[in-house]
Amino acid sequence: MAARLVKRCACLLREATLLAPVVAPVGRLRLASVAHRTLTFSATCPSSHFPGPLSGLVEKEQLSAPCPEHQEVERLIEKATRPEELLELLSDGRCLQESHAALMLIQLSRLLSDKPEDRASLVQDARFQQLLHLVDSQISAVWHGTLVKLLRSLYALALPAACRELRSVEQEVRWRLRRLKYRHLAFLAESSATHMRESPELLAELLLHLERRWTEIDDGRTAVALMAKTGHLSEPLMNRLEDKCLELVERFGPDELRKVLVTLAAQNRRSVPLLRAVSYHLVQKPFPLTKGMLLDLAYAYGKLGFHQTQVLQRLAADLLPHVPSLTSGEVARGAKSFALLKWLSPPLFEALAQHVVDRAHTVTVPHLCNVLLAFAHLNFRPEREDKFFSLVNEKLGPKLRSLHPALQVDVVWALCVLQQVQGEALRAVLCPELHARFLGSESPKDQSTFQKLLHISATAQLEHPEYTGPLLPASDWAPWLLACDGKATPLQKELRDTLRGLLGSPSRGSFAVATQCRGAAGHGWPVPAPERLCSPTSHSSLGDPAAAPWGQEAGVPALGVPQLQQPEQRPAGALRPGPASRAGRRLPGGGCPLLRVAGAQV
């Protein structure tokens, strides 16, 4: 056997020596590897013969060796700067390989990415149609990486959804999904997922493969990109990607951390373990955070309502030096983000207020409204409030009636909270034409706006005695208060049950009564449980508990009852009111809704 092995080695080396001058250096290396594989196979299979397979293998390697003409075509494709140069390659009679047509289409999409007006004329070109037919006929020979880029390019060229060649490429991709590497799947998802709505089968299979092979993700960029592009399309995939990000979060840089938080905020996913991990690394690692990163991080934390003290302290401290370079839109965005978190950093907000005053000529009305609302939700009044609020009145006064009705109410409500409202602003929002829009609406946003109108009306009565009207009539807000009674919280229900037990009889008390305008409900706050008990010192009628005034009477002490009210529902990202404003809390008898009890104290 040893003699036979030596004889075959000699034959193999002799043929390799004869073919060596013909084969290029690359081919020579390939030939050596083929010879090694063939030699090993022969040694392990004594019964096999070697009559001529080496020549066939050598011919195969020669065919796959780089051809100067093919290299020239690839060089021309890469250097093309106009679509015409690529289309001329079809009419020059050049020998095009299987992948050349696909490479030409990829280069065409790159050249036309900034020229959408030229795409329509290109699709009508006969040479372009010939190129599509050529790709369709050779699609099975295109390599995996080129295939996924080809599909992305066909989507970018805006071919019709019913185009035969496009459907052919999509079908080829579907057949190869199991064999594609995960980076190819991620590239497809990142670049083409939004275009696959017309091909739901391909999109569904792609998402399924991404979910099943999620353990193959080995870098943070892929995980973050998939979260942003496809996480909202598949709940199981998003859960897997969150787990992978939690696993790789130690390797993330500041940009990856920012993208993770912004993606979670955009999809309104409050993944607490991932948020805690990201917050930990933001605090522990001294990342250099740019102005844009700081604003994005503050927005994400505010949108998700995730309050982490150390992170917010760092964001506020790092953002403070950047305040002079902020635009009016960035100032409004930063103030709104911190207001959503109920986080007040006095140095930062003083700097924001001063920035608005110093650049009054560049501040737009919408941005000024957002800053004002943020200040109101934090109950923040700058030290130089005279200049700031004079700017607000100067900018918003003439344009208040031209704003959207809901925004008008928000602005005047903010001015009431900050005790800077003027009579003209009160008249603008309390006129019947405006508040009639929100009366009786079942939208949570409109109901919240109507409640703010109640607060504004209370401010007009209590803090502006010179104001002569108009006001919200009782016929408008009384039915609204009775409707709110059906939305009692569990704590409200428990309190009412306790009070009913103390009364002993339902006829001895009344709940959620719409009182007169001097009562608490007329000032913007419904009274959850006003009670009137019969006693020798009280002769009021139980059927009309609102008949008597709510002032102090002999032998009838007035006691404060804490406000219990259903939290208002706001759309995602909308500002939520903070603690009850001064305008809404100042009520007769001590500043809060009252409970009348005759002869006893509860």
Last residue of a domain, one of 39, 63, 87: 63
Q: Give 289-303 pLDDT, tens digit per residue.
A: 999 999 999 999 999
Residue 235 lies in a domain: no
Q: 198 versus 212: which is more confidently predicted?
A: 212
Q: What is the pLDDT confidence band of residue 82, given thresholds at 50, 70 and 90?
A: confident
Residue 17 lies in a domain: yes
Which stretch of 197-201, 499-503, 573-577 has the lowest confidence by average pLDDT? 573-577
In this predicted structure, what is the pLDDT of residue 262? 96
Q: Give 183-203 pLDDT, tens digit per residue.
A: 999 999 998 888 888 888 999
In this predicted structure, what is the pLDDT of residue 543? 44
Question: Can you state the percent helix, strand and coil of the chain, rounding each to 5?
Answer: 65, 0, 35
Q: What percent of the chain has pLDDT over 70?
A: 69
190/204 Cα distance (integer angstroms): 14
Q: Give 521-566 pLDDT, tens digit per residue.
A: 444 444 444 444 444 444 444 444 444 444 333 333 333 333 333 3
Domain count across the chain: 2
In this predicted structure, what is the pLDDT of residue 536? 42
Q: Give 443-463 pLDDT, tens digit per residue.
A: 888 888 888 988 998 899 888
Last residue of a domain, one of 63, 96, 115: 63
Above 50 in pLDDT, residue 492?
A: yes
Q: 160 versus 331: which is more confidently predicted?
A: 331
Q: Give 309-367 pLDDT, tens digit per residue.
A: 999 999 999 999 999 999 999 999 999 999 999 999 999 999 999 999 999 888 999 99
In this predicted structure, what is the pLDDT of residue 438? 82
Residue 541 lies in a domain: yes
Above 80 in pLDDT, residue 51?
A: no
Residue 522 lies in a domain: yes
Residue 26 lies in a domain: yes
DSSP H or E stretch at residue 595: strand 594-596
Above 60 in pLDDT, residue 73?
A: yes
Tokens of 19: 């073919």
Three-state DSSP at 560 gives strand
64/141 Cα distance (integer angstroms): 13
Residue 592 lies in a domain: yes
In this predicted structure, what is the pLDDT of residue 277? 96
Please classify residue 548 by burial: count the beta carbons closer than 10 Å to its beta carbon, then call 0-12 exposed, 13-18 middle and 19+ buried. middle
Residue 43 domain boundaries: 2-63
Last residue of a domain, one of 44, 63, 82: 63
Residue 341 lies in a domain: no
Tokens of 566: 């259903």
Rounded to the nearest 10°, the torsion over CA 553, 559, 562, 565 is: -30
**Could you say which DSSP state residue 66 is in?**
P
Tokens of 130: 């010939």
In this predicted structure, what is the pLDDT of residue 369? 94
Among residues 328, 334, 265, 269, which one has the least CA distance to residue 300?
265
**Could you say which DSSP state residue 591 is in?**
S
Q: Give 111-139 pLDDT, tens digit per residue.
A: 888 787 777 778 888 888 888 898 888 88
pTM here is 0.69
Above 50 in pLDDT, residue 160?
A: yes
In this predicted structure, what is the pLDDT of residue 593? 37
* Ramachandran angles phi, psi of 180, nearest 5°: -70, 145
User: Contact, 526 vs 512, CB < 8 A?
Assistant: yes
Residue 537 lies in a domain: yes
Q: What is the pLDDT confidence band of residue 169, given thresholds at 50, 70 and 90?
A: very high
User: Contact, 192 vs 173, CB < 8 A?
Assistant: no
Please name the residue ranges forming H helices in 405-473.
405-417, 423-430, 432-435, 444-462
In this predicted structure, what is the pLDDT of residue 586? 36
In this predicted structure, what is the pLDDT of residue 408? 93
User: Contact, 101 vs 134, CB < 8 A?
Assistant: yes
